[in-house]
Chains A and B, each alone.
Chain A
Amino acid sequence: MAPSRTSTVKSKHATNKSGIKNSKTTNKTRAGQNGDGVSKPKSAKSKKTQSKGVSLGSVTGKGSALNKLKKKRRIYTEKELGIPALNMITPVGVEKPKGEKKGKVFVDDRESMLTILAMVNADKEGQIESKMMKARQMEEIREARKVEADKRVEDRKSKLDEAKEGLRKKRKRAAAEKKEDGESVSLEAGTKPMRLRKKSVSFA
């Protein structure tokens, strides 16, 4: 299949005689020559283009057009494109900004050392302060908890004491009642105490 038949090629530089149907130049020349839509008076300019078109037909003209094509294509250098030299990620530590001092930067003057020292001291002060605050808060919480626990223990103890007292009173009352009852019973029936004596068995 000849390339001239393809309709998809839309080269900017495709000329009239290249055989490409949709190329700009062909369209232009057609519009100028045939005047399909708009009729333009034939001027010297159009004549010129016509004559050019004729000259392009010659063998030497074809060669010059090709040369033009080659000249027109701009060749970019790698710098202009900005493509990295190696197509890979450069680690942070490896890439160093240009124009900066190589190696370590020393701190030897008193002023910068004092600045660093002041920063460090302020930081430490803050840390100690926060530690103290935290310790104080914890201490308060601990104290409150201790007081609460003491109170609970005391409550429980008092409740227990009350219960004990109640039981003691009840027992006293019951004993007193019993005593009274026993006295009255003994008074009523004199033979009863004999029955209360437990039976015992003795060997030998």
Chain B
Amino acid sequence: MRPLTESETQTLFAKLANYTGTSLKNLIAPLDNGPNADRYVFRIQQSRCYYVRLSLSNLATSIARDKLLSLGTCLGKFTKSGKFRLHITALPILAEHARYKVWVKANGEMPFLYGGHIVKAHVGRWSDDCPEHQGVVVYSMNDTPLGFGVTARSTQEARRLDPTGITCFRQADCGEYLRDEDSLFATS
């Protein structure tokens, strides 16, 4: 387990900033105003990046690297080529700071959770002025985050789209907790 290097931090923030707005800086804000206040930090353990409280990460140093399976919230993993891939486990953090949102109707929830893209007919609401190929967080109509994806069309273009046209490409959905149960937390 180690902190991130400069380039890794930049890659991670660039990825997170696809989905979130400027409120992302609250992620690393101290939890209270004390001089030695606890704060959240990013740690890498076996190519996976975790968002974890500093006090917890300090405690975790007493566990051998190969024995430590997970700590805090897993955001995703760094690939061998140095890119970052977000996992569905990062959804609570993304949903909290999301900039653009898409709400799917009840009839579109299951197709999305089974790994399908979002078609126009299933969209209940969406954020205005959303450009093309922009990261969005997908919610159900009662504001439960279901996953995240990338818009296929801008909001204006999507208005003209036919009902079966794809408006949002799925990147991760909560169904992965079941579908990828074997590989989501396995480290080997």
Contacts and interface: CB of A to CB of B under 8 A. Distances in A.
Interface stretch (A89-97, A114-122, A172-180): A114-122
Given A120-B17, A124-B14, A135-B131, A106 B2 contact: yes
A131 B132 contact: yes
Contacts of A105: 5-6
A126 B123 CA distance: 28
B3 interface: yes
Contacts, number: 60
B144 to A, nearest CB: 26
A133 to B, nearest CB: 9
A139 B39 CA distance: 45
Given A107-B3, A110-B39, A135 B156 contact: yes
Contacts of B22: 121
B134 interface: yes
B24 to A, nearest CB: 6
A132 interface: yes
Interface residues of B, number: 26
Classify chain A's interface size.
20 to 34
Dominant secondary structure at the B interface: mixed
Nearest to B24: A117
Contacts of A121: 13, 17, 22, 24-25
A104 interface: yes
B134 A128 contact: yes
Given A120-B14, A131-B132, A114 B3 contact: no
Contacts of B39: 110
A108 interface: yes
Return the 7 tightest CB-CB contacts between A and B, nearest first.
A131-B131, A106-B3, A108-B3, A120-B13, A124-B17, A135-B154, A104-B5
Interface of A: 104-108, 110, 112-114, 116-121, 123-124, 128, 131-132, 135, 139
9 contacts: A104-B5, A107-B5, A114-B25, A116-B6, A117-B13, A117-B25, A131-B131, A131-B132, A135-B154
